[in-house]
Structure 1
Amino acid sequence: MMRYLSIAAAVLGVVIAAPAHAESQVEVDIAAGRLDSAIFVLGKQAGISIGLSDPHIGASRVPRIKGRMTSHQALTRLLAGTEAKPQRVHARHWRIVRIPKRLTSERVARKFNPVKSPPQPVINPDIVVTGLLMRHTIQSDAAGNRLTLSLDDVGPSAEVRGTDALLETLPSLSSTQLGPGRNRLFIRGIADSSFNGPNQAVSGQYLGEARLNYNAPDPDLRLIDLSTIEVYQGPQGTRFGAGTLGGVVRLVPNAVQLDELSGKTSIALAATQDGDPSADANATVNIPVIEGVMGVRASVYTGRQGGYVDDRRRELRDVNRMDTMGGRFILRVDPGAGWSIDTMAAVQVIEARDAQYVDGTGDRLERSTLFAQPYNNEFALGQLVVRKTWDDTELTAAINLVDQEISETFDLTLPASEPFYPELPGLFHQRGDMRLFTSEIRLSRSLDNGGNWFFGTSLVNNRYRIRRAIESDFFNASVVGIENETSEATAFGEITWPLSNRLMVNAGGRISHVWTKGTTLETPSLVLSAQEATVKRNQTAFLPAVGVQYRFAESLTGHVRYQEGFRAAGIDISDDQVERFRNDEVAAIEAGLVFSIGGETGFDAGISAAYTKWDDMQADLIRGDIGLPGTLNIGNGRIWTVDASMNWRPLPGLSIEASAIWSDSKLTEPAETIFVGNSESDFADELPEGAVIVESDNLPNVADFSGRLGVSYTNALSDESDFSLSAWVRYTGESRLGIGPILGVKQGDYVDTGLSANLDFGAHSFWLEGSNIFNARGNRFALGSPFILAFGKQITPLRPRTIRIGFDTRF
């Protein structure tokens, strides 16, 4: 893997300097439809803001445009044949103004008289900004409740961070906190377990067209050189090859530019109170190999996150240092005739010197352990994407291969029980190997009436192998491991059709057949019989989806959508026994409203409510006082969520943004072996063998309420420079670590804060950022090692107050 990083670094080293271009080209793909929808999409794809001087212009119909072009070229093509024209306000800001009617007759005269008349003045125009983050905006492709944001929306330090930057920005996104590279992501309250196991993750992840995970944890890729970040909430059975229960996070890289030499470098330094300093650096270069035909785009990055946790027993300070390095390489070939070929390779290595949890004593930034508990995550991806376009029709074929290896060490030391039992030191080693192959083919078409359809097929093969071993002074032994192989063949599709200029409906479906095979590894002959060493299962599922969107007025739009999700049944090992569990399914219905009053000073707001029914829920439990988590079907549950957001612009350049999500999740019908109560004495009847008593019927890792409030101000100092300030505060509500004894501990209920300032001079920018301004401790996650959780409190605190300073330069 290091060899690939060296190659990418060598490619970057070829370029030292190059002239800046006045306006670079970007990859544009906008469906035919209304102008107001088209400029919103263009704003996100081109990284610009676009305003409308007259909101009635937004109803104009525009054609589909696709290809590489400048912002001006894209706007000109969109507005051809309309009564509007583009007008540049600033280097990255445009507005669309109505062409005065008298100019229509003047065009004829100008063909014979080249004398130019002075441009008409625009007095106090009302501008609707469409290039900013507009949460809960309903998309014309009816892809579900999608949140789209850029790196600017995440903050100036976005490129030197990973998923944590998204968690600070979106309350509907949550995660476990075992450490970057081994966390599980949850979207809008759909959370099953705090542990990584053989069952499919409830949230899917993509890098461009590449599916990143099946049952693997979040690889926590750095947010380097991205065009947009998309978060799809709720089941996504008809939109992606990944038919997930909770949603999809998609990172969209910047496309290769075939006609310009350009690049960017960034350096950031950070100081953490009561901790070690941190440093990050990254660089990106775009090289046209054959202008207009072939080009490459490469990024490399490295960083060290200083530790801040002390170990009293080993007398060590700041033990939880973490190093990250990685890179991405994209080769694009555009042979013409509507064809394009993209090849991408990406690698990342995360090495953590020790775990990041504490025991809550002293100043709550220390613990007492005998051993270090390091871990590392090695991630590699290869992708080939071929596209062909015919007018309004596009065919996309993608083949992806992902390899991820995770090595973990947990403390297994059992405390002394005086006067009979001494302390028993021990370590538990675990190594997981995940290999994922996916192939997706999608055919889509944009219709002249503003609707669209798409159809896709997906083939998946995922192999998950985990090996475990115990190391102690008394004995070393292998623990039964397992290899699960899952193959899946899927067809999915959806059509969106306007019934009027206000009403749009969509319907789709997904059918999947899944083959699962589980094989035990390092099997003790006295524990598992030969017949149990390999288990096979086959399943088929059909998932429908329907939705309606209605525009009540120019400023108010509503939607209702029903969709289902399915997760294949799995196989696991618990207490040296083969465990088979049923597939789980979710059915979700949501309704929402979006209200927008445009203008340089305006107001946008959205609210949605969702009800999710979750049957045969797969979750991880710890059975017994000490042991590995094991998967069980814990029963049926339901989740109510209400999430809302607003963006108010009371003054030019000033924006006040707020977003929140309320969630109420319950285990409504526990399985036969699950009993809700405090102890066995709460039950009159004798409990059956294998019974598990849970203290609460709340689902794990789902905060009851989370919210964020942010204020930002931007001022254009000149045509080439901007200055911006922002501040935010986020509250994360209370949740539980898991279901059942030991895991029923509480976590969450803390406040985090941040400040940032950015000075942009066009080709250069400087930024300063502070996080956890009030140096709160909090408890992000109540787990460090599952083996000693029963013997004491475990807390994962917020990173202490940290100040970052960074410098970016573009050429």
Structure 2
Amino acid sequence: MTGGAGSSHRRRGRRASFAIALSGAVIAAPPAIAALAQPVTLEAALLQLAARTGGEIVSLEPGLRTIRVEPPAPELSLEAALRRLLRGTGYRAERIGARSYRIVRVAERRPAPRVSPPPGEQASAPDVIVTASKQRVPLLRFPASITPIAPQDAPASGPTSALGDTVRSTPVLQTTALGPGRDKIFIRGIADSSFNGATQATTGYYLDDVQMSYSTPEPGLALVDVRSVEVMEGPQGTLYGAGAIGGIIRIVPNPAQLDSFHAAIAGSGAMTVGGRPGGDLSGFVNLPVSRDVAAVRLVGYRSHDGGYIDDPLLGRRAINAVDRVGGRVTLRVEAGDGWQVDTTGLGQRISAGDAQYVDGDGRELTRATRLAQPYWNSILLGRLSIRKRWAGGLEFVSVSGVSQYDANDQFDATPRAAPGTIGYVTTRSNLLLTEEVRLSRSRANGESWVVGLAVLRNRDAENRQLGPLNDPTEIIGVTNVSQNVSLFGEWTRPLAASLSATLGLRATEARVDGYPSLKPRAGDLVRGRMTRRIDPTLALSWQLAPRLSLYGRLQSGFRTGGLAVARGIGRVAEFKSDSIGMGEIGIRHLRDGPTGVNFSAALSYAHWDDIQADLIDRRGQPYTANIGNARILTGEVSADWVPVPRLRFDLSALYTVNHVTDGQRLPNTPPFSAHSAASYSWGAFGGTMRTSGAFDYIGRSVLGTSRYLDLEQGGYAVLSARTEWSRRDLTLWLSADNITDSRGNRFAFGNAFTLANGAQGTPLRPATVMLGFRIER
């Protein structure tokens, strides 16, 4: 039973194999578990304590399941409750952080009260719990692929690294590279197009349990004070509805902690070969308002990525610098009787002085344009979560969310022989409202179920202008209003001691109404089609051994249709809904104890019909169309091996084969990508030293499915390394990214209006050295 950083079977080796972490994490204890009147195992009591207080408790001791204790009184603080729980058990708590403890055996352990394990059960590492399933399903019995991401463990990561910075080391993810805040991220090769437009995203992005976006790019949130990031591979139509045909990415921030003050500050400086310096600064403060009742957590950050691309025609150097500033406020209230209320407010703005592409294949870091191409985007998000959990395992959850995304992009559309300059400017505004209410229950025998109602409304408006920047002409844009109501349910039932089945169903009614302008008039309404869908799930999980399982899954998903810009200036057209069906088989092994191997592998086959795609024509104008059907075969593997404590090796890889109707390949889906890493830690200078290195390979892919867009990209490798030293509340670190100064084309696009004039490429950042610190108390 573990919680914390994603599916913690991929934690670094020096971390414990048993962790109980605060509620709301991707793999975490459920919130607000009332104290039980009857004695429970020490492991269960620690799980309840971590859920109630928001602390983290880790242990390598396998005997916690064999000791029975009386749960502590719910009004006790984390420290006091730990003392009460461990009294006379032969174990003690070591403080390893402001809100973190390690449970260890005392040197001379007194006999502890024991209970015999159930027949056939052996004392072993506790189960990891996957709460992204909206039930409490142990990872070993979870019948689907799930990939945790630990941004802080990446050798090249900094205090304000974003989701896009982790894609290179996560082969199941693929991405475009237009710049932070306007990229698309794909999961396991479910990629529709390289361009942004009106279509719903193939990937669902969530902050905790609130959807952040609908048809907009990945917002580029800085992963500051984030407990875990989890990739739940799709389709996830039953639990997450339309727009999760590729899967979901769930970012879980640290919630407010109720019983202690906690603060941290982190910063770094970076130097890039041939570029300008950069740096970032971030911090958070956790303030209990009323001890064990209410607390607030404040997060803030600012970063500057120095540019490294020159434009000699404009006479400017290092034009592609990017600035990011943001913050988050979280309030938690324990209202009593098992009720818990969490509210979150978030804001972030990204601005760039120019585009991220160069002329050619990305080897030369120069571009010649007649007009600068700056952009900015921002996101504001609000979240309200209300939970109630009863002692019998029944849990009620209500989650409300509102998200506002705004963006402005400028491109150079000047023809070669034109005497002046022509600009193309797009302005986008997206408002997303969501509400989900669900009831779930998990039983000790492995049975679990969830039923819920979800409502969504999204308004996406785009305005376009073309011409001289001082006197542009407005050309037609599109405003789509999407409305979606769903009922869903999923039930997992043991069929035998080692075999369980999962059945699920989601019934959805959705429609999209469109307006062919940014400022709609009543007569401009274009009523879309009503979409009614039933998306089922059927899955089996077979536990072959205490730490080994096999699973199979059948699932479907869809995206709604809508109104979009059509071929030719001044036209709009409807595009149809698309759908996907997938079958998957996989195997998973979790290590038992601090050393050993975690391993997972999966093989999947997907049939994707009427693919929606945002495209561009040879004149640079955007349009949306259904481009045909695709067949996608994918194999993936992930493993981490801890041969001895403090030494860890990681390996993950993805292989995929796909074909669209006309024989073309899906965009941004390399046939093969891989990641490998190693880390080792040891005592040094009165603290702990840790060094790590990583090697990433990104295979070759294409920009788009048409012959015009059949442009090659990818096919490069990157080496990075990191060394950090920690002592008490201080951490110092030094990292180097792209150590060999490798040159490669991450993305073969930057400007639709000049693509026909010659090759474009988005280069790797040249060799970069970062020096950073973190102080916490």
With normalisation by structure 1, the TM-score equals 0.82
Shifted more, 235-244 versus 203-212: the winner is 235-244
Aligned counterparts of 1:580 and 1:298: Cα–Cα separation in 2: 44
Partner in structure 1 of residue 15 of structure 2: none
Residue 478 of structure 1 and its aligned partner are, at CA, apart by 1.0
Partner in structure 1 of residue 765 of structure 2: 799
The letter for the 2-side match of 1:631 is T
Aligned counterparts of 2:311 and 2:588: Cα–Cα separation in 1: 50
Partner in structure 2 of residue 730 of structure 1: 696
Partner in structure 2 of residue 501 of structure 1: 497
Choose the corresponding residue for 1:748, options 703, 714, 718: 714
1:399 aligns with 2:407: no
Map 1:148-297 onto structure 2 (within 5 A).
Answer: 148-155=148-155, 157-240=157-240, 243-297=243-297
Residue 605 of structure 1 and its aligned partner are, at CA, apart by 1.5
Aligned counterparts of 1:311 and 1:279: Cα–Cα separation in 2: 23
The letter for the 1-side match of 2:628 is G
1:490 aligns with 2:486: yes
Residue 586 of structure 1 and its aligned partner are, at CA, apart by 0.6
Residue 476 of structure 1 and its aligned partner are, at CA, apart by 3.1
Aligned counterparts of 1:474 and 1:255: Cα–Cα separation in 2: 47
Aligned counterparts of 1:170 and 1:42: Cα–Cα separation in 2: 33
Aligned counterparts of 2:608 and 2:735: Cα–Cα separation in 1: 41
The change in CA–CA distance for 1:149 and 1:178 in structure 2 (over 3 A counts) is closer
Partner in structure 1 of residue 638 of structure 2: 645
Contact 2:143–2:539 under 8 Å retained in 1: no
Aligned counterparts of 1:502 and 1:99: Cα–Cα separation in 2: 37
Map 1:377-526 onto structure 2 (within 5 A).
Answer: 377-391=377-391, 392-416=393-417, 425-472=421-468, 476-521=472-517
SS at 1:795 equivalent: strand
Aligned counterparts of 2:652 and 2:303: Cα–Cα separation in 1: 31
Q: 1:116-140: CA deviations, max 9, x gaps?
A: xxxxxxxxxx99699999xx99726
Contact 2:57–2:103 under 8 Å retained in 1: no
Aligned counterparts of 1:25 and 1:406: Cα–Cα separation in 2: 36
Choose the corresponding residue for 1:602, options 593, 596, 601: 596
The letter for the 2-side match of 1:577 is R
Q: 1:195-217: CA deviations, max 9, x gaps?
A: 11111100001111221000011
Contact 1:293–1:333 under 8 Å retained in 2: yes
Unpaired runs of 5+ residues, structure 1, are 1-22, 108-125, 417-421, 671-675, 677-695
The letter for the 2-side match of 1:803 is V
Residue 86 of structure 1 and its aligned partner are, at CA, apart by 5.0
Contact 2:620–2:754 under 8 Å retained in 1: no
Aligned counterparts of 2:45 and 2:147: Cα–Cα separation in 1: 16
The change in CA–CA distance for 1:663 and 1:39 in structure 2 (over 3 A counts) is farther
The change in CA–CA distance for 1:74 and 1:595 in structure 2 (over 3 A counts) is farther
Residue 103 of structure 1 and its aligned partner are, at CA, apart by 2.8
The letter for the 2-side match of 1:715 is W
Higher radius of gyration, 1 or 2? 1
Map 1:84-95 onto structure 2 (within 5 A).
Answer: 86=91, 91=96, 94=102
SS at 1:311 equivalent: coil
Aligned counterparts of 1:204 and 1:63: Cα–Cα separation in 2: 42
Unpaired runs of 5+ residues, structure 2, are 1-18, 34-39, 116-122
Q: 1:770-793: CA deviations, max 9, x gaps?
A: 111111121111111111111111
Partner in structure 1 of residue 616 of structure 2: 622
Aligned counterparts of 1:726 and 1:53: Cα–Cα separation in 2: 28
Aligned counterparts of 2:509 and 2:87: Cα–Cα separation in 1: 47
Partner in structure 2 of residue 16 of structure 1: none
Identity among equivalent pairs (%): 33
SS at 1:29 equivalent: coil
1:757 aligns with 2:723: yes
The change in CA–CA distance for 1:102 and 1:85 in structure 2 (over 3 A counts) is closer
Contact 1:404–1:434 under 8 Å retained in 2: yes
Aligned counterparts of 1:802 and 1:75: Cα–Cα separation in 2: 47
Partner in structure 1 of residue 572 of structure 2: 578
Contact 1:34–1:450 under 8 Å retained in 2: no
Partner in structure 2 of residue 20 of structure 1: none
The letter for the 2-side match of 1:785 is N
The change in CA–CA distance for 1:48 and 1:327 in structure 2 (over 3 A counts) is same
The change in CA–CA distance for 1:34 and 1:566 in structure 2 (over 3 A counts) is farther
Shifted more, 513-522 versus 138-147: the winner is 138-147
SS at 1:796 equivalent: strand
Q: CA RMSD in A?
A: 3.8
Choose the corresponding residue for 1:700, options 655, 661, 667: 667
Partner in structure 2 of residue 51 of structure 1: 60
Partner in structure 2 of residue 542 of structure 1: 534
Partner in structure 1 of residue 37 of structure 2: none
The change in CA–CA distance for 1:86 and 1:154 in structure 2 (over 3 A counts) is farther
The letter for the 2-side match of 1:764 is L
Residue 621 of structure 1 and its aligned partner are, at CA, apart by 2.8
The letter for the 1-side match of 2:458 is N
Partner in structure 2 of residue 103 of structure 1: 111
Map 1:588-599 onto structure 2 (within 5 A).
Answer: 588-599=582-593
Q: 1:654-688: CA deviations, max 9, x gaps?
A: 11111000011111xx3xxxxx4xxxxxxxxxxxx
Matched residue count: 727
Shifted more, 231-240 versus 478-487: the winner is 231-240
Residue 24 of structure 1 and its aligned partner are, at CA, apart by 13
Aligned counterparts of 2:155 and 2:401: Cα–Cα separation in 1: 30
Contact 2:68–2:113 under 8 Å retained in 1: no
Q: 1:711-770: CA deviations, max 9, x gaps?
A: 10022459x832211000100011111121432111111111210111111211111111
Q: 1:344-370: CA deviations, max 9, x gaps?
A: 110001010000100138961011011
Residue 599 of structure 1 and its aligned partner are, at CA, apart by 4.2
Contact 2:20–2:57 under 8 Å retained in 1: no
SS at 1:165 equivalent: helix
Aligned counterparts of 1:353 and 1:478: Cα–Cα separation in 2: 24
The letter for the 2-side match of 1:562 is L
Aligned counterparts of 1:173 and 1:390: Cα–Cα separation in 2: 38
Aligned counterparts of 1:502 and 1:104: Cα–Cα separation in 2: 31
Choose the corresponding residue for 1:561, options 553, 557, 573: 553
The letter for the 1-side match of 2:678 is V
The change in CA–CA distance for 1:156 and 1:414 in structure 2 (over 3 A counts) is closer
Aligned counterparts of 1:129 and 1:152: Cα–Cα separation in 2: 24
The letter for the 2-side match of 1:103 is P
Partner in structure 2 of residue 355 of structure 1: 355
